[in-house]
Chain A
Amino acid sequence: MRLVRLTERLIRASLCLLVPRRDRDGVMASLDEAAARRTERGDGDEWRNVRDAARALPQALRARLPHVGSRPRLAPVFGELVSAARRLRRRPGPTLVVTAILALGTVTGTAAYGLFDVVTRTNSGLDGDGLRILRVRTSRAPAPRERHPAELFRSLRAANLPAAPVASTHGEVIVRTDDATTSEWGALVSPDYFEVVRVPLLVGRAPTLDGPLPEVVVSHAFWRQRLGGDPEIVGTRLNVEGDEHRIVGVISAGVRGLQGHAAVWRTFDPARVDFALRVLFRFSEAGQEGETLARVSALERERTGVEEVSASVLTADDLSLTAFERVT
């Protein structure tokens, strides 16, 4: 008897957590009334109340996560969960043993990874004070996005926001030196990026769009390993993506950047790009962040015509890559 009541209370508590607030009272009242009516009829099945509560759990989950079953990518996951629940009901013993073994493996793996991560985590090597990465969530794409159309970046630049936006993207590029042609990770950044993000330079200056030749800054590792650590490197040429570039600077040792390591850093013309960009701000005063995000939401609503738009930010630390990510 006590076991039945305890089980029922546990399931009801889960149900309370899952059922949306608008339906909670009605759901609980239905369970109470059905139990009372059975008692009046002299139905002595104690477990029936437990089953009634348990059977409501999938409906509660569906009400709580209305998109899960209907989104094509998640539908198979939802199907697997339903299948697992059925299997648990039909063969509880073996299913619970298998689940326990899997759970133990997951917990052990997570703990080991967490330890590895804590020991080996690195940061971007940049001054993260006030530096924020823009995320936008819309009702059309409910997952928050950190990469945005160049058109959005252009509209933000034109909007005279409290903090000026800068942007970057990251991809593979072909770099040719005297002794080898290799594929490297390259960063493309907006003109004010180095200044706003405060990318520290060992020598030289940030790349601009003004020189007679396209300009490039190289990472410390690339400078040492591929360019021999030449102290007179500034002013020499480097072929990137088939075009001759002038090396104008070397980034300080230990700087990884916000999108993972990049060997070569170039500047793009914001008026001419059409690829997705990561947009950043550096907020220096209280209130700048809130005002900027409100205006970003309004601009994106206007640009896309989507009513529900919300902008938020990540810190540079949120983006710190773990050793696991670097290895893989």
Chain B
Amino acid sequence: MSAADKSLGPLEERLLLALMHLGGESYAVPAAELVEERTGREVSPASSYMVLRRLERAGLLRSRVGDPLPEPGGRGRRYFELTPRAEALLRRARRESLEMWRGLEARLDG
């Protein structure tokens, strides 16, 4: 399946949105914490890392490894950045979601 045809899973979509909230680029731990903070659901940073790597392989993210951390044996964090394809996919997901919600707000908001 090409990235353009890909439909996003809930965690994938939330992590992509978290990256947007974090300025378009971040590493896995803050993204996972932001999802957790906003949804109230526990999100594993290790799961998030693997999901972000999978999205990178699907062409929705780019990544770079930052400078090594200032500690013995410290490794660099991997920073993920959204690609234009990811933004297009998020726009489409939002449009489809809003379309399905249209007309139900009054019924479900109460």
Contact = CB atoms under 8 A, between A and B. Distances in A.
B83 interface: no
B57 to A, nearest CB: 10
Contact of A59 (B32, B50, B75): B50
A52 interface: yes
B53 A26 contact: yes
Contact of A34 (B32, B50, B78): B32
A23 B50 contact: yes
Interface string B18-58: 00000000001100110000000011111111110110000
A28 to B, nearest CB: 8
Main secondary structure of the interface of A (DSSP, over half): helix
B62 interface: no
B50 A25 contact: no
A62 B11 CA distance: 14
A23 B75 CA distance: 13
A276 interface: no
A204 to B, nearest CB: 60
A56 B50 contact: yes
A23 B55 CA distance: 13
Contacts of B45: 30-31, 33-34, 52
B31 to A, nearest CB: 10
A175 interface: no
A55 interface: yes
A53 interface: yes
A129 B5 CA distance: 53
Contact of B44 (A22, A23, A51): A51
Interface of A: 15, 19, 22-23, 25-31, 33-34, 37, 48, 51-56, 58-60, 62-63
29 contacts: A23-B49, A23-B53, A26-B49, A26-B53, A27-B49, A27-B50, A29-B75, A29-B77, A30-B29, A30-B32, A30-B48, A30-B49, A31-B45, A34-B32, A34-B33, A34-B45, A37-B29, A48-B42, A51-B44, A52-B44, A52-B45, A52-B46, A53-B44, A54-B44, A55-B42, A55-B43, A56-B50, A63-B50, A63-B53
